[in-house]
Amino acid sequence: MNTNIRAKLAAIQQVLKAPKGQYNDYGGFAYRSCEDIIEAVKPHLAEQGVLLTMSDRVEAVGDRVYVAATATVTDIETGEAVSVSAYAREAAVKKGMDDSQITGTASSYARKYALSGLFAIDDTKDADTNAYRAQTTADKPQQYVCASCGKPFTAYTTRKGKTMTPAQVYAFARQKSSDGLARCKACADMRTR
């Protein structure tokens, strides 16, 4: 059977399930990594006789640095190939990371989106998108946490006996903040000292 690379890629796209195997405790959401996608696609690549390769290149645009990642599937028999590229900007500074770690983070991010494009992985529920946040608020309760210490906001009863939900306390804290970030009373007091 001599099927072209596009037909083989389409067959993989139809059956590939790339679950979100990672969990962000701070943000309270599940997400998929580049490694999750690779692990999920390996059996389908073997079944179709297709090789997956990835490469990166660094590009300077003005004073910003981008990592361009390319994911390519190649038919092992014919050598036909299909590629998709994606870009991620390196952060100028990232606390606790050296330069190589910053580049590595941008590479992982770009590779994840190159793979997502190549294998037609639906991104509407990805934690990196606003659409994800909008969809998941109906599915599960929102985590309302302090922007400084990460502790969750809890219900609060006012002096007049009115109970505010964590969402209302969070909204009130955001409204009172000079930078629009919700902070618990202890962290807000620390900032004003």
Q: Which domains does the chain have, with CATH numbers?
A: 5-139 (3.30.390), 156-192 (no CATH)
Give the residue with greater pLDDT, 173 vs 72. Answer: 72
Q: What pLDDT shows up at residue 141?
A: 46
pTM, two decimals, is 0.59
Structure confidence at residue 143 as a pLDDT band (50, 70, 90): low
Q: Over pLDDT 90: what percentage of the chain?
A: 34
Beta-bridge partners for 52: 73
Determine the residue type at 76.
I
The dihedral through the CA atoms of 124, 39, 90, 149 has a sign that is positive
Distance between CA 23 and CA 11 in Å, rounded? 29
The band of 77, judged by pLDDT with boundaries at 50, 70 and 90, is very high
User: Which of 35 and 93 is assigned the larger pLDDT?
Assistant: 35
DSSP code at position 152: B
Cβ partners under 8 Å of residue 144, min gap 6: 152, 153, 166, 167, 169, 170, 182
